[in-house]
Amino acid sequence: MKIAVLKETAPGETRCSAIPETVKKFTALGAEMAVEKGAGLSAGISDEDFKEAGAKIGTRKDVLKGAGAILCVSGPEPETLKDAGRGALLVGELDPLRRKVAVEGYAKAGLVALAMEWMPRITRAQSMDVLSSQSNLAGYKAVLEAAAAFGRAFPMMMTAAGTISPAKVFVMGVGVAGLQAIATAKRLGAQVSATDVRSATKEQIQSLGAKPIFVENVAGIEGEGKGGYATEMSPEYQKAQAELVSGHIAKQDIVITTALIPGRPAPRLISDAQLATMRRGSVIVDLAAEAGGNVEGTEAGKTVEKHGVSIIGAPNLARTLAADSSALFARNLYNFLSAFWDKEKSEPELPDDDEIVQAIRLTRGGKVVNERLASS
């Protein structure tokens, strides 16, 4: 099988869907690797690096011709894939719910579109989970962005001139990004607290040395949605959480918000009224900016100031760590395809009854076949 690696064309996209390491691994499986010229440059990988790993370098038309699989980070526009053959696999983050027209275009082109962000959160798929690998880096970078914008130091410092108190950091949403944000803020010496709608995360917060801030005495609410993701809460819970957050947030220097609900606008966690209670010079990093933001007034890709508080609308911070995020993303793709690799045919076989295949396959045979997409 020929595997094509595309150069990303989405605005601001710096990542690459392959690295020399995965090129070598695919070649060892019997695949022929073809990389679009310049695909890895923004991630610090030259065409010569890919050549040395065993890949051929060419134009998009060259790499797509005869390819049985096409690797990407962000889903390309269907018209840019006109040279791909029918039945080819398109593997990457395809943003199905917001790009339904593009998904229909993939179907018309005869491609088998596989949305890696819909990977089920099950044990055998952990090494294939692009959301987790990229969110881990985003959580880390969110704290660095906050530290750079904050006008004070993070750790307690005892000096001859007096003592500097530690910064107070509050993390809202304790998924992969939130946990890494907690760990990073603790390493920098901050006093950290965190909250989440999923009660199971309380122990995770404590294990990292942070203080859990949770709504108590609201019966029957766990916040655990399908696949381990958070789900929307009842009005009673939302009211109780707003009151709790209002009292806590006024004392914080830095807030990191990470709450997302798959396929839905980001939940509103911080209102303008709550912003007004925060100290001047405080910083908020909103990791949900591209989905509408957790904070009232967030603008994706911009830093805005309201009531003396800086709100950083962070759009996909993993892109700012292109070398590491590319390496993790590329390994996710390799781990997925190699798990289904048929050694005799030297290509992946995707069984119809497999839980992973059912979850991520969007199109096949010229049609949109994913139930989740069809019902949305």
Q: Which positions are annotated as active-site residues?
A: 121, 126, 129, 132, 229
C-alpha span between 183 and 82 (Å, rounded): 45
Of residues 236, 251, 178, the one with CA closest to residue 208:
178
CB 2 within 8 A of CB 67: yes
C-alpha span between 118 and 129 (Å, rounded): 9
Return all residues near 294 (Cβ < 8 A) that are at least 6 apart: 172, 173, 257, 258, 259, 266, 267, 268, 269, 270, 286, 287, 288
CB 6 within 8 A of CB 63: yes
C-alpha span between 366 and 374 (Å, rounded): 14
Return all residues near 227 (Cβ < 8 A) that are at least 6 apart: 120, 121
**Helix/strand/coil (H/E/C) assignment for every residue in 217-245:** CCCCCCCECHHHCECCCCHHHHHHHHHHH
Q: List the Cα angle 223/224/227 in 5-degree steps.
A: 155
- How many CB atoms are closer than 10 A to CB 160? 4
Of residues 320, 323, 282, the one with CA closest to residue 303:
282
Q: Which pairing describes strands 191-195 and 168-172: parallel, antiparallel, or unpaired?
A: parallel
Q: Per the structure block, which two tokens stand in for 354?
A: 């497999």
